[in-house]
């Protein structure tokens, strides 16, 4: 066994080329890679203006809004910063839902940038109970905005966004702002219908591109409020960005290849149909959830997200063994998964469902996780796990997976 | 002639694939394109950590510093913002050299971000006279930093950086900060030797990659001063970035493909030798400068930069005709050049010398500009222009041009 494994290590492709089951960056579609590999033009050309116009137009239906969607050369965290400094003034009070690493980040960011932060701490793996938000809003009637993740990526937990938005608007005139980086484009999030004021996204998630573009979508109300923000901002200033966008341009130099990749994928997302896309992601996550029990794993979150699944490793496994499992999945099976963060290092596996992945990729993943758990001496019923996953994926049979069209 | 031209329009490659003679983005080397096209890994892997370490190490000699060079997912303008907010506190006074669009931008940015800005207005096309800086520093002894472009890209003008830095340090303990976006990596700029405190750069210039990475290099003194800045910053916070860099990581998600492209090109820049690289860029600019007169063009700047050349079009040409010339160079000759900005629209051509360009590319450019000027009825001595350019480029004969190795 050992010598076979040794062979594997050299025979297999390097870690950097492994298939990405991470919750971002994700597997890039072959067609997008081709566009990225040939789009090296200048950003002040008629050709690029047509790309900008197409992208800004097509982002609206994907964000399910009639409002403006801005694209800036930054990461998701940069877009989170852009959203709050464009809408809020220093000293203003915000309620931040902190249910994991990314909630913690938004709270810390808002505090650093001079806002008054009231945090709702939610235990990791749990969704925010709407009643808790109601209570917090009543305690802080001077609050100007509620900030929450749609999906807290570190725990793969989905918050009840529709209900939270409703409570927010029923009780206050607060802005309801969501970090939808691990959500928008991969699950139903009707921004206008649910009256979400701000939706933040990023290129390396449902948009299946490399990191480098951040998105900020604004409701008409939010857009009007941008004009009131006293936060100092230059690079992230959306009012100035809008002036450039009106001319079919971006304000600064643009990552032209990423924009062209975005143009390519948005057209295909709309053609494939958002409903079909959401179903694909949802079935992938359900398949992995159903495979968990036969593999001897538990679903970590009490409110699992369709975009990423966190699986608790067996209690009998040490954190070191948990980390080793991830390494083996990379070196033996050519699959990159995410582990846990902070106290969850070595305790959970996180499987993303957003990239250019097929049903078969997910079956291979189930099989690979089962194999490595078995080799490590854990009880695993691999055939049952595969059967459960396969049945779940049946509705996708005979269809092309999005991002994997031949 | 017209029907031949019509044929050209369809037979030639589209504008977006034209060869870039723009001063950024520039022509990307084929090898870098290959790296960009295959680097889609995750940013939290051992493989990416090795890329981060290699990049951070190799940026130092290219920036000619023993200090820290930071890489952030942003554009050059984002890096200009990062530099000032990491080093200065709101209300502090800065002297900004404004000799064109980018000086104007840095002044406006500093003002917007809450600094007290004293602008030295320099007529477009002229370099700052060191005596003017001396005078301004004496008038504002409370000034905390001097901000200047090395090369003002909008006018292709080089400032006397070594002398300006010397005066700055002789008279004050001000920080001397330069926007070297159209300079660093393409011309000699010995940061440590000239005691430049901060050097800002960007990926789409001498580094020959797409837009998306901004660089901020700090002297040891500047690094220590970061700890004192009271400017609110989260995304651009270099103190936090350093903590991640110490672990071979970046703080946020990274444009992995750009980092891998950067690793690739830095290794090659150092192997090719900075002196050779600077000579190549310098000879390209001299060749175009020498070709100007026979083509009936004038060198716009009184202090021409080696990285980009601005050529004044004949007085007899209208601005509309000047813009048409650029369009013809794109559609007939498959070459993208930059025009002028503001009052220089249609009045100048700007030719960048930083990308993966050969001596022959520059000869083709001279010939194409000459052809289009002739067709438009202007006196042009194309053979003399080519002869002058060719003689100038003779030292490069028989050598591989950097970025164009087969």
- A41–B202 CB contact, under 8 Å: no
Residue A37: which of B36, B45, B81 has the nearest Cβ? B36
Please answer whether residues B253 and B259 qualify as being in contact, where contact means their C-beta atoms are separated by less than 8 angstroms. Answer: no
d(CA A65, CA A56): 12
* Residues in B touching A255 (Cβ below 8 Å): 210-212, 255
The whole-number average pLDDT for the span B133-146 is 98
- B81–A234 CB contact, under 8 Å: yes
The answer to whether B15 faces chain A, any CB pair under 8 Å, is: yes
d(CA B296, CA B311): 10
Q: How do residues A174-212 score in pLDDT, each as one tens digit? A: 999 999 999 999 999 999 999 999 999 999 999 999 999
What's the confidence (pLDDT) of residue A364? 97
DSSP per position, B156-215: TEE--HHHHHHHHHHH---EEEEE-TTTBTTB---TTTTT-SEEEEETTTTT-S-S-EEE
The whole-number average pLDDT for the span A152-166 is 98
- B17–A25 CB contact, under 8 Å: no
Q: How do residues A333-360 score in pLDDT, each as one tens digit? A: 999 999 999 999 999 999 999 999 999 9
Percent of residues, chain B, with pLDDT higher than 70: 96
Q: How do residues A78-126 score in pLDDT, each as one tens digit? A: 999 999 999 999 999 999 999 999 999 999 999 999 999 999 999 999 9
With CA atoms as reference, report the closest residue to B287 among B59, B60, B21, B61: B21
Please answer whether residues A197 and A51 qualify as being in contact, where contact means their C-beta atoms are separated by less than 8 angstroms. Answer: no
Q: Which residue of B has its CA nearest to A338?
A: B44
Percent of residues, chain A, with pLDDT higher than 70: 96
Q: How do residues A61-71 score in pLDDT, each as one tens digit? A: 999 999 999 99
Question: A173: distance to nearest CA of chain B, Å?
Answer: 27
d(CA A57, CA A303): 33
- Residue A352, strand partner residues: A308
Question: A206: distance to nearest CA of chain B, Å?
Answer: 15
The answer to whether A235 faces chain B, any CB pair under 8 Å, is: yes
DSSP reduced 3-state for B298: strand
DSSP reduced 3-state for B72: strand
- B212–A73 CB contact, under 8 Å: yes
What's the confidence (pLDDT) of residue A146? 98
The whole-number average pLDDT for the span B297-316 is 98
Q: How do residues A240-263 score in pLDDT, each as one tens digit? A: 999 999 999 999 999 999 999 999
Residue B16: which of A45, A210, A255 has the nearest Cβ? A45
DSSP secondary structure letter of residue B353: -
Q: Is the pLDDT of residue A382 over 50?
A: yes
Q: Is the pLDDT of residue B188 over 60?
A: yes
DSSP reduced 3-state for B308: strand
Provide the number of CB pairs (under 8 Å) joining chain A to chain B.
169
Looking at CATH, the fold of the domain delimited by A19-24+273-396 is given as 3.90.1150
In terms of CATH architecture, what is A40-271?
3-Layer(aba) Sandwich (3.40)
Please answer whether residues A155 and A175 qualify as being in contact, where contact means their C-beta atoms are separated by less than 8 angstroms. Answer: no
* Residues in B touching A203 (Cβ below 8 Å): none
Half-sphere exposure of A274 (CA within 13 A, CB side): 16
d(CA A144, CA A139): 13
Q: Which residues contact B212 (CB under 8 A, 6 or more apart)?
A: A73, A212, A255, A258, B73, B74, B75, B203, B204, B255, B258
* Residues in A touching B73 (Cβ below 8 Å): 73-75, 78, 211-212
- Least confident range of B3-12, B171-180, B261-270, B383-392: B3-12
What's the confidence (pLDDT) of residue B16? 52
What's the confidence (pLDDT) of residue B279? 98
Residues 130-189 of B with CB under 8 A from A: none
Q: Is the pLDDT of residue A5 over 60?
A: no
Residues 372-391 of B with CB under 8 A from A: none
Question: B260: distance to nearest CA of chain A, Å?
Answer: 11
The answer to whether A6 faces chain B, any CB pair under 8 Å, is: no
Q: Is the pLDDT of residue B283 over 80?
A: yes
A284: tokens are: 């992938």
d(CA A198, CA A161): 12
- A235–B33 CB contact, under 8 Å: no
Residue B232: which of A33, A36, A113 has the nearest Cβ? A113
Q: Strand B68-73 to strand A308-312: parallel, antiparallel, or no bridges (unpaired)?
A: unpaired
Where are chain B's structural domains?
19-24+273-396, 40-271
* Residues in A touching B257 (Cβ below 8 Å): 36, 210
- B17–A36 CB contact, under 8 Å: no
> Cα A278 from chain centroid?
13
- Annotate chain A with three-state secondary structure: CHHHHHHHHHHCCCHHHCEECCCCCCCCCHHHHHHHHHCCCCCCCHHHHHHHHHHHHHHHHHCCCCCEEEEEECCHHHHHHHHHHHHCCCCCEEEEEECCHHHHHHHHHHHHCCCEEEEEECCCCCCCCHHHHHHHHHHCCCEEEEEEECEECCCCEECCHHHHHHHHHHHCCCEEEEECCCCECCECCCCCCCCCCEEEEECCCCCCCCCCEEEEEECHHHHHHHCCCCCCCCCCCHHHHHHHHHCCCCCCCCCHHHHHHHHHHHHHHHHHCHHHHHHHHHHHHHHHHHHHHHHCCEECCCCECCCEEEEECCCCCCHHHHHHHHHHHHHHHCEECECCCHHHCCCEEEEECCCCCCHHHHHHHHHHHHHHHHHCCCCCCHHHHHHHHHHHHHHHCCCCCCCCCC
d(CA A42, CA B210): 9
* Residues in B touching A81 (Cβ below 8 Å): 234-235
The whole-number average pLDDT for the span B200-229 is 98
* Residues in A touching B234 (Cβ below 8 Å): 77, 81, 108-109, 112-113
Question: A260: distance to nearest CA of chain B, Å?
Answer: 11
The dihedral formed by the CA atoms of B91, B97, B100 and B105, expressed in degrees to the nearest 10: -20
Residue A41: which of B15, B48, B235 has the nearest Cβ? B15
A390-to-A36, A309, B195 alpha-carbon distances in Å: 34, 17, 65
- Rounded (5°) CA angle A80-A354-A249: 50
The whole-number average pLDDT for the span A37-54 is 92
Q: How do residues A265-322 score in pLDDT, each as one tens digit? A: 999 999 999 999 999 999 999 999 999 999 999 999 999 999 999 999 999 999 999 9
* Residues in B touching A17 (Cβ below 8 Å): 38, 41
The dihedral formed by the CA atoms of A253, A257, A258 and A260, expressed in degrees to the nearest 10: 110
What's the confidence (pLDDT) of residue A16? 53
d(CA A124, CA A117): 20
The answer to whether B233 faces chain A, any CB pair under 8 Å, is: yes
Please answer whether residues A46 and B15 qualify as being in contact, where contact means their C-beta atoms are separated by less than 8 angstroms. Answer: yes
Query: Cβ–Cβ contacts within 10 Å for residue A109, how many?
Result: 21
Confidence of residue A19 (pLDDT cuts 50, 70, 90): very high
The whole-number average pLDDT for the span B123-133 is 98
B94-to-A143, A192, B119, B148, B153 alpha-carbon distances in Å: 36, 44, 8, 11, 21
B146-to-A167, B91, B96, B110, B117 alpha-carbon distances in Å: 51, 15, 6, 11, 10
Q: How do residues B78-92 score in pLDDT, each as one tens digit? A: 999 999 999 999 999
What's the confidence (pLDDT) of residue B405? 81
Same fold, A19-24+273-396 and A40-271: no
The answer to whether B38 faces chain A, any CB pair under 8 Å, is: yes
- Residue A96, strand partner residues: A119, A147
Question: B233: distance to nearest CA of chain A, Å?
Answer: 6
d(CA A33, CA A261): 8
Q: How far apart are the first and last CA of chain B?
A: 36
The answer to whether B33 faces chain A, any CB pair under 8 Å, is: yes
Q: Is the pLDDT of residue B17 over 80?
A: no
pTM over 0.90: yes
A279-to-A204, A366, B359 alpha-carbon distances in Å: 20, 20, 55
- A44–B338 CB contact, under 8 Å: yes
- B42–A33 CB contact, under 8 Å: no
The answer to whether A340 faces chain B, any CB pair under 8 Å, is: no
d(CA A239, CA A86): 8
What's the confidence (pLDDT) of residue B18? 87
Q: Strand A213-218 to strand A68-73: parallel, antiparallel, or no bridges (unpaired)?
A: antiparallel
Q: Is the pLDDT of residue B9 over 80?
A: no
Backbone angles phi, psi at B333, to 5 degrees: -115, -5
What's the confidence (pLDDT) of residue B210? 97
The answer to whether A81 faces chain B, any CB pair under 8 Å, is: yes
- B257–A210 CB contact, under 8 Å: yes
Q: Which residue of A has its CA nearest to B73?
A: A74
The whole-number average pLDDT for the span B366-371 is 98
The whole-number average pLDDT for the span B135-151 is 98
The answer to whether B228 faces chain A, any CB pair under 8 Å, is: no
> Cα B391 from chain centroid?
26
What's the confidence (pLDDT) of residue A405? 81
Query: Cβ–Cβ contacts within 10 Å for residue B220, how many?
Result: 13
């Amino acid at each position: 066994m050992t010598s076979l494994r040794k062979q594997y290590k050299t025979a297999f492709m390097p870690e950097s080329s492994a298939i990405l089951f991470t919750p971002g960056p994700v597997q890039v579609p072959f067609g997008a890679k081709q566009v990225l590999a040939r789009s090296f033009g200048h950003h002040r050309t008629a050709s690029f203006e047509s790309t900008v116009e197409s992208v800004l137009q097509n982002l609206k239906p994907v964000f399910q809004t009639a409002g403006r969607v801005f694209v800036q050369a930054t990461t998701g965290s940069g877009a989170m910063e852009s959203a709050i400094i464009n809408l809020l003034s220093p000293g203003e009070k915000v309620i931040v839902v902190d249910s994991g690493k990314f909630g913690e980040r938004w709270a810390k960011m808002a505090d650093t940038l001079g806002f008054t932060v009231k945090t709702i701490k939610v235990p990791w793996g749990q969704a925010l109970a709407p009643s808790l938000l109601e209570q917090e809003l009543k305690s802080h009637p001077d609050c100007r905005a509620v900030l929450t993740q749609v999906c807290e990526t570190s725990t793969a937990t989905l918050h009840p966004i529709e209900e939270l938005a409703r409570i927010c608007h029923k009780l206050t005139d607060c802005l309801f702002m969501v970090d939808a980086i691990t959500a928008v484009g991969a699950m139903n999030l009707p921004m206008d219908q649910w009256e979400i004021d701000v939706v933040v996204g990023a290129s390396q998630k449902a948009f299946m591109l490399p990191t480098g573009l951040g998105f900020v979508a604004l409701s008409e109300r939010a857009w009007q409020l941008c004009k009131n923000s006293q936060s100092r901002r230059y690079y992230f200033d959306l009012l100035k960005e809008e002036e450039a966008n009106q001319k079919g341009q971006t304000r600064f130099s643009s990552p032209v290849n990423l924009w062209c990749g975005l143009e390519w994928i948005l057209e295909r997302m709309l053609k494939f149909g958002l409903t079909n896309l959401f179903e694909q992601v949802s079935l992938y996550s359900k398949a992995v959830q159903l495979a968990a029990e036969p593999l001897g794993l538990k679903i970590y979150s009490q409110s699992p997200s369709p975009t990423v699944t966190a699986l608790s490793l067996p209690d009998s496994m040490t954190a070191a063994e948990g980390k080793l499992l991830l390494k083996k999945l990379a070196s033996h099976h050519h699959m990159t998964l995410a582990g846990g963060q902070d106290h969850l290092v070595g305790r959970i596996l996180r499987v993303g469902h957003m990239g250019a992945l097929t049903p078969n990729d997910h079956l291979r993943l189930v099989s690979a996780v089962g194999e490595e758990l078995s080799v490590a001496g854990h009880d695993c019923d691999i055939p049952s796990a595969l059967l459960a996953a396969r049945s779940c994926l049946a509705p996708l049979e005979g269809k092309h997976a999005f991002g994997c069209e031949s």
